[in-house]
Each structure stands twice: as C-alpha cells, then as structure tokens.
Structure 1
Amino acid sequence: MNVIPLPRNDVRRVSARTLSEWDTNGVKRCLKRSFAVPKMSGLTDTERAGCKKILKLMSKGDLLSLSDTVTNKVIVVEDEREATHTILSFTKNAEEFLKRKKVQRDLIFKYLTKEGVVMPPNSEKHQLVKRTLLLWLPGKGMDDENCPAETDETNQGPTDTPSHSTNMKAEDGCDLLVLGQQFCQWFFQLLNSQNLSLGQPPQDWGPQHFWPDVKLRLLARAGSEQMEEFLGAELVSLRLQALTREERLILMPNLEPRGLRVLASPHGLVLVAVAGTIHRDSACLGIFEQIFGLIRSPLENKCWKIKFVNLKIRGQDAMEGTEIVAPALTYNSTELQLLCSS
C-alpha cells in the first residue's frame, strides 16, 4: 500500500483534485488526471458496486461527512462523485463500511429490498449487515442465490422458456420448509419489483406463472370487510400486480418458522402459507396471510405454476393492537390440511 506523503512543512488539508500532484518522494508535479486518490480499498468488485448503491441512497450532507470520517479530514471533496470515490478508495473492507454510523440501518434495509432480498421489517442493523455481506460473497449474488445453475431450487428458469414460473425440487425427501422459503423469495421479489417507486426495473411478471384456471380469493379488512374473487391467469395476474404497481404496496413475508408453513399432498399439490407485513413507502399499513397452491407442469422440467391464491389483508385499524412486526400465521394445521387435500 503506497500512501502519498506530503512535505513536512506543508500541513494542510489536501483537495482530492490536487492530491495526485505529489509523488511518493514528496516532490510536487503536475499530472494530467484531475482526480486521483491513493488506492487503499480492499473491496471486491461486487462489494464496491454494492457500497456505491448504498452511498447513492445517502443524503449529500451525510455523504460528505462520511468522506471526512474515512479520510480523517485529510481529503477535501467538492461534490458527491468525489465523495463516493474517496470513501470507496479509503474503505478497508465491506464490513467496516456497513458498520459506519452514517451507513444507517434504513439505508441497508432499503438497499436489500431493491436487490430483492427479503428481510423482516424489525431486523436490527447487525442482522442486515450480516445478510448484506452474505449477498456480496463470490457466487452469492441474487442471480446465483435465487437462480443456481445446477441446483435450481427456485428460479424463473431459462429466459427462452415460454412459461417459467418457478423451478423447485419436489422429489421425496425434499425439505419442504426450504422449498417454501425459496418460493416466497422468488414470488415476492417478482411482485414487489412491479412497484415502480422502488426505483428498480420490473421483472418478468405475467400470467405465465399461473395455471389457466387459477383462482384468487382476496379478503381485505380495513374497517369494513371486502371479498374479491378472480378466475383465470390473466385476471389473477393483473389483480396481484395492481397491489404493487397501482397501490404502491410492498409485501414483506416473514420467512421464520412462525410465519411460514409448507405442506405437500400425495397427489402433487404443494401448499405454501406465509404471513407478513404490508408497507407503502416507510409506513407499515398492516399484515397479510397468503396461501399458494402449486402444481408442477408435466410439460416443463421442474416448472411449477400457481393453481390458487388465498390472500387475507388486515389494515392497522382492523387489528385492534395486534403486533404487526414479524406476524405469525393464524391458520391452524387442520385448515391447511383441508386446503391441501381439497
């Protein structure tokens, strides 16, 4: 690591634009590059890209303040671009960056949400840091994590496949809970990406993920109770998409054991039941419980499609003080067994 020393008699803060005028012997010289700082970063390319995305979520004031902190106020930056470059250059490792006070919990949570990583809304910062570091491990990005090349447990299949809902292993002995977790990660990442306020490109949502005769039952309780039913892949797809695109909702499932149950019938139906919270922007609006019936397509290898969806939504004013953080399923085993065998 080469640190550029300054002449002993020149004790001053150095602009990021003029730092490169001093060579390693302390002799002033002019370089053609207008912006150069010493390379001290130990970040991988993946970590650097992730840190840069988090910095873009930060206010200008916090960004400039963080630049002062990481350089001990030796480097003066003039704008966000210089601050970002300087912070990344002086960051020793990703964990150090994520644990900085200016890298607040909400920034990391928002970053993970944009990357499609589902975390409980009440997650503490150290949990978000750990999950982010896992995401940045080599071969552990979202594309690799959710779409492994050889062990597709949950993905959207090849892009040239006409219908590619979700690929999951359902052979005997499969861990159903893991299967359910991976399905929910795939489904809610896909659905939430339709919310344009998140600032990410919408993924390939559409009727291709459903059976033609799929049925959606939507029960909403917010003061009064309202029941809606939709039949057919096109209508079901559009109604679910409207939750995130038109109503700007974000559905965050609780993938802990209390919030997720998975059953399988001997006839090939896999039932996934999950509870979670509903958000719009930074406000938590209530909770939901959603049950999916999944059946494998005999014409497409490992391809599962959604046969039915039961979605129950409760707004905060209909909950009467019920805890809304990391909600648990209220369906009992008998109710789920009846749905699975019907």
Structure 2
Amino acid sequence: MQTQSMSISEQHRIGLRDLLINETNTPVLLQLARSVTKNVCSIEEPEEALDYLTAHTEDIHKLMYKRHITRDLLFKYLHKRQPGTYTDFTKADLVMRVINYWDQQLNAGTMQVQSSAIVDTYCPTQPCREEEFPIHLIARKFGEWFFDKYNSDQLKLTDLWSDAALQLEVIADDGTSEMQCASAEQVLLALISAKQQFGFYFNPNLTHSGVQGRIDNFGQVVVLCCGTLHTADRSVGVFECVFGLLRDPHANNNWKPKKFKCLLRSELRPPRLHTLTASETLQTALTLPTTSDTLD
C-alpha cells in the first residue's frame, strides 16, 4: 500500500517567501534551490528558486532542517516577527516555532509578506489600493532594510548620505535627553550609542498601519515608521521615526537616508503593535501629501 507524500502548503510557501526572500537570506534560498535540483539548471531569480524548492521538496519539516537554514537564521527571523516569545535555542525548537507561527498567521488571516525589492510600478489595469502605491512600497522596503541592518549592527557610513543629519529624543523613566548632529559619521555614532546604551531591539510595524511614505514640500520622499522597543526578554517602549530619502546617483540610484528624526520612549505597558495614527510625534508628517504615481 502506497502512502501519499505530503506537499508544502501554500501558507508554508508564503512563510518561506517571508523567511528567505530578502537582502540577507536570498543567497540561502538560491543555495537551497540549487541543492535540491542537483545543480542541473541555472537558478538566479528568487521567485524561480522558491518554485524549484517547493516543487522538489515534499515536506516543510524536511526542508527546514537542511543545513543551509541555520539556527542563527531562524532565531533572527523569530526575533523580528515574535520578539521575546522563545525560550529554547535548539534548531529543533526554532523550526517548530517558525512553522507554528506560520500556521497561526493562517488561522488569523494576518500573514504579512514583504516585497523582495523596491519596484517603482503601479497597477496598470485597475486602481491600486493605497497601501500598494509605489511610495508606500518604497517606505516599507526601506523600513525593513534599515531596521534589519540597524538591529544586526551592519549599518555603514556608505548607507547614509555624507551630510546626513539626525534629531534624536529619548524619553526614559529618569528624564528626557535630546541631541542633534550632522555628518554621516556623527549620525551613525549617535544611532549605535543609543542602541547600545539601552540594549534596544527595534521591532518596526512593517504593515501599512506602521510604515508609510509621503512627499515633503521639496518633492522629496519621506518615510514615516513606528514600532516597539524590546530588550532581551520584554517589550519596554515605542519608537517613532521620520526619514528623508534621496536617490544616490553614485550608488546605482538607490534611495539613501539623509535626514533622521527619531523619538524613543519607554513605557510600562507598551502596545502590542504601535501604529502611525497612535504616534503623537508623527501627526504633522501624516498630513503631508502622498502620490499614486511612480517615482523618478
């Protein structure tokens, strides 16, 4: 009697896309796809790699235990999606928790999957929902990219404009501190010092309710972003940020931050999910115009 092999469900496929299609983990996805296909064909595109991977792997558990998916990769993913919810650090426990997280999102109908790249496009045949406007896609991708690099201590001077400027306010139990600085070197030092001083992990709300784009009076792209602050074992506050972005013609015309305005505030009972509408310091910026057009 033959048994029917399990296949990877659509929900787990969505989860794998969330886990593996990003700047950090896409090389892992490509390695996995080449491995399961025995390198018989050239695979360069992430979505193509995901198609091969799910077509040639029968079971999600078998896939998650492959050596390319490391304990460190799973831990960082969980820490981003469910900070402070894990108690064990074995790979077996992390695999179980990641799959359970995907299954819970299916039941709740709230799985959020980020775009793998910033693409300046719009819906050609029908009006986009506002959250799909190019300016909001850029904002969400920037928020994901920035806080991933910031949390992992990989933010570099070349990621900022050389004349970047920062306004930083920290409201803690023992008082308020404010600082301003200009130049990429000073901005980077201030950001790193604030993170290390308090031991914060920044968990941005990467949905439309937590990250949006606007156009300022000079026609520049402004990213509004908020989220929760965490230490090793608990949520301790919220953050609210405004980033001013400009394209850098000397860096493949990529968007780079030039202006930073950040508020870090400790709270006894932080919200589970901080939103822009609840962000006191972002209300004025939220009134700036948006656009449904592509961005040149």
TM-score higher than 0.5 here?
yes
Deviates more, 1:210-219 or 1:110-119: 110-119
Structure 1 residue 215 corresponds to structure 2 residue 177: no
Q: Which runs of 5+ in 1 are unaligned?
A: 4-39, 51-90, 99-108, 134-141, 147-151, 154-167, 195-202
Supply the AA of the counterpart residue of 2:102. Answer: V
Amino acid in structure 1 at the alignment position of 2:101: L
Q: Distance in 1 between matches of 2:194 and 2:74?
A: 21
Partner amino acid for 1:233?
A
For residue 272 of structure 2, the aligned residue among 293, 305, 325 is 325
- Cα deviation, 1:289-330, whole Å, max 9, x if unaligned, reads 11111011233432122111111011124xxx5x42101122
Higher relative contact order (CA 8 A, sep 6+): 2
> Secondary structure at 1:221's aligned position in 2?
strand
Q: Tell me how far apart the structure 1 counterparts of residues 172 and 217 of structure 2 sit (CA, whole Å).
A: 37
Tell me the TM-score normalized by structure 2: 0.56
Aligned identity (percent) is 24
Of 142, 147, 154, the match for 1:188: 147
RMSD of aligned alpha carbons: 4.6
Q: CA deviation at 1:257?
A: 2.4
Checking the alignment, whether the CA contact within 8 Å between 1:290 and 1:309 is kept in structure 2 is: yes
In structure 2, the partner of 1:229 is: 180
Q: Offset at 1:192?
A: 0.8
Judging changes above 3 Å, is the alpha-carbon distance between structure 1 residues 171 and 257 closer, same or farther for their aligned structure 2 residues? closer
* Residue of structure 2 in register with 1:76 after alignment: none
Q: 1:41 to 1:256 in 2, by over 3 A?
A: closer
Structure 2 letter corresponding to 1:128? Y
Q: CA deviation at 1:254?
A: 0.7
Whether the 8 Å contact between 2:78 and 2:98 is mirrored in structure 1 is no
Residues 295, 131 of structure 1: alpha-carbon distance in 2 compared, 3 angstrom cutoff: farther
For the pair 1:301 / 2:252, whether they are aligned, the reply is yes
Is 1:93–2:59 an aligned residue pair?
Answer: yes
Structure 2 residue matching 1:285: 3-state secondary structure? strand
Q: Over alpha carbons, which structure has the higher Rg?
A: 1
Q: Distance in 2 between matches of 1:192 and 1:116?
A: 13
| AA at the equivalent of 1:219 | E
Contact 2:6–2:58 under 8 Å retained in 1: yes
CA distance in 2, matches of 1:222, 1:301: 40
- Aligned-partner Cα distance in 2 for 1:117–1:172: 33
Q: Is 1:175–2:134 an aligned residue pair?
A: yes
Q: 1:36 corresponds to which residue?
A: none
Q: State the match for 1:290 in structure 2.
A: 241
Cα distance, 1:244–1:334 mapped onto 2, change above 3 Å: closer
Deviation at 1:121, TM superposition (A): 4.8
Cα 1:337/1:180, change in 2 over 3 Å: same
